[in-house]
Amino acid sequence: MKKIVAVFDIDGTIIDFFSERIFLLFLLSKGKFFINDLFNYAVNLLQTTNRGFIFATKGNKAYFKNKDSKEIEKLAHICFRQHLLKRIFTRAKEKIEQHKKKQHEIVLLSGTLSFLLNEYKNYFGVKKGYGTTLEIKNGRFTGKTLGIYPYGEGKAEIIKKYFDKNQYDLPRSFAYGNHLSDIKSLKLFGNAFIINPDKKLAAIARAESIKIEYF
């Protein structure tokens, strides 16, 4: 019997803001984010413009270059408990629990950093998730990312790669996102939802036959 999945975006869908931005502000408050980190970001932006604007900007994680990976992961855990946890939508929690009770496989799919995504996985008791993975060498981040960047078409690419139609019943499965960039991946599922859209996005969702919910 094929599996039914419920795929959730995180930023704007499970929480009310951007996980990574909150974490960067947290690092700044702890004295772990400096001018040279922004310089690394700027250099990498210039070097990756040929890969497209989205990858060069949103997919640019060079501000983590040379940072101790274990220390950053520990700080991510603290940030989640102190700041991110309280921003989770109550309705999102309820929706995830509803799918669990129906024995649907819960999957988190987000452009946020994988070590932040892991905090959400642990909190919700979810086994599978795809985020932005940073390369580590000798215990430190190199500033480079690994694998498919899970944003826009990247999300659709991940779904096509890891959700075999022989194992997963996508026409009966569910997907939740909150951004125009999620439309392409949402349409791969029979039950697609745009969360908390503005008027423009709501109109696009209706035109694409995507349901709307407010968390």
- Residue 212: how many other CB atoms lie within 10 Å: 13
Q: Where are the domains of the chain?
A: 5-213
And the tokens for 17? 């803001």
Query: Domain 5-213 is in which class?
Result: alpha beta
The SS3 assignment for 190 reads coil
Phi-psi region of 138 (alpha: psi -120 to 50; beta: other; left: phi over 0): left
The CA-based dihedral angle spanning residues 92, 93, 95, 100, taken in that order and rounded to the nearest 10 degrees = 140
- The answer, as to whether pTM is greater than 0.85, is yes
What residue type is 111 in one-letter code? G
CA distance 107 to 205: 22
- Predicted local confidence at residue 144, as pLDDT: 93
Q: Which residue has tokens 């892991």?
A: 118
And the tokens for 98? 């509803």
Q: Which residue has tokens 């999620």?
A: 182
Q: What are phi and psi of 108, to 5 degrees?
A: -100, 130
CA distance 36 to 208: 44
Contact assessment for residue 135 and residue 115, using Cβ atoms and an 8 Å cutoff: no
DSSP 63-94: GGTT-BHHHHHHHHHHHIIIIIGGGB-HHHHH
Q: Pairing state of beta strands 191-195 and 174-177?
A: parallel
Contact assessment for residue 22 and residue 28, using Cβ atoms and an 8 Å cutoff: no
- Predicted local confidence at residue 49, as pLDDT: 74
The pLDDT tens digits along the chain (215 residues) read: 899 999 999 999 999 999 999 999 999 999 998 878 877 777 776 777 777 766 657 778 889 999 999 999 999 999 999 999 999 999 999 999 999 999 999 999 999 999 999 999 999 999 999 999 999 999 999 999 999 999 999 999 999 999 998 999 999 999 999 999 999 999 999 999 999 999 999 999 999 999 999 99
The SS3 assignment for 129 reads strand
And the tokens for 65? 């270059």
- Predicted local confidence at residue 56, as pLDDT: 58
Supply the DSSP symbol for 15. Answer: B
- Predicted local confidence at residue 50, as pLDDT: 73
